[in-house]
Amino acid sequence: MFFKDMSKSQLQNWRKGMIVGFYAYMFLLLINIFSDLSVGSEPLSSIVIFWSGFGVALVVEFVLNRKEKKVDETHTS
């Protein structure tokens, strides 16, 4: 009712963004683990890791949608 349905390409871009965001989570958790094992403290809090992974997913989706939109505009002109 309030939002329009996503197109197939937008859904694919969101899935790609979620995958990259997941890898960002894993990388940041790996940094935390290695730091905890070597130094004894975690440099990143869980809230920073959460928002970083979520932000990465949103940015990747936005970039892919924007790139696709520019390609569509150049082909239609």
Q: In terms of pLDDT, which residue wins out, 68 or 19?
A: 19
What is the band of 73 on the pLDDT scale with cuts at 50, 70, 90? Answer: confident
What are the boundaries of each domain within the chain?
A: 10-70
What is the band of 77 on the pLDDT scale with cuts at 50, 70, 90? Answer: low
pLDDT digits (tens, 9 = 90+) for 3-56: 889 899 999 999 999 999 999 999 999 999 999 999 998 899 999 999 999 999
Question: What is the model's pLDDT at position 26?
Answer: 96
Q: CA 31 to CA 16: how far, in whole Å?
A: 23
